[in-house]
Amino acid sequence: MTHPTLTVATRTHERDAYQLDKWLTDRARWQQHQPLTWALAGYLPLAMDTTLDTATTDGTRIRFNPLWSGGLDDATRCHIHAHLVWHCVAGHFLPAPVTDHHRWHLACDHEVNAVLLLLGIALPGKATFFPACIGKPLIEIHEWLKFHPHLAEEELVDQLEPAEMNCTALARQWSNRVESLLATPEVASANSTRKALWLIQRIMATVRHR
């Protein structure tokens, strides 16, 4: 399988280049055991941005603060990297249909982390994850969070930003990419893909109807 063309930001500082190399290394390590995430990540150029507190994606690229990245251990960085890729797959750059954006972001984070868990990508100790909500639609998770007794303690590890291009077209593009990759034998037959397939398909169906 040919990996999509990957572009990266210009390396202007040795320290920043080191962090960029770490993110690229994450992707290289996914190739064998996480072929679906590896292939999907190839559609997202990496760019360093010191104006960010952490990291973000708008469905077309991933931007991260290299200073913040330098404070992460490898497992946490790898999780956040995959987390951002799956935010794109799940169409979380689409406009939120609710007014409580904090709860919506938490619902999005749970949805992505549930997929990562099934794929076999470890979640850090403070990752947002609600076992009772696995497989629930985003809007139901958002409503369920109304009754979360410790909502203020749930941390957001990334930032969500809306897509600048046509959101609906971009979401359809991601759905088509996933569908195409799932038809590829080396992706579809991977243990990680098969374990997460039911949830991925459920999320894709929801995205197509938003």
Lowest mean pLDDT among 124-128, 177-181, 196-200: 124-128
Q: With beta carbons less than 8 A apart as the criterion, state whether 93 and 161 touch.
A: yes
pLDDT on residue 4: 52
Residue 200 has which token pair? 């991925």
pLDDT on residue 165: 75
∠ CA 49-50-56, rounded to 5°: 50
Q: In the chain, what are the domain boundaries?
A: 14-208
pLDDT on residue 151: 86
pLDDT on residue 169: 94
Residue 18 has which token pair? 């080191």
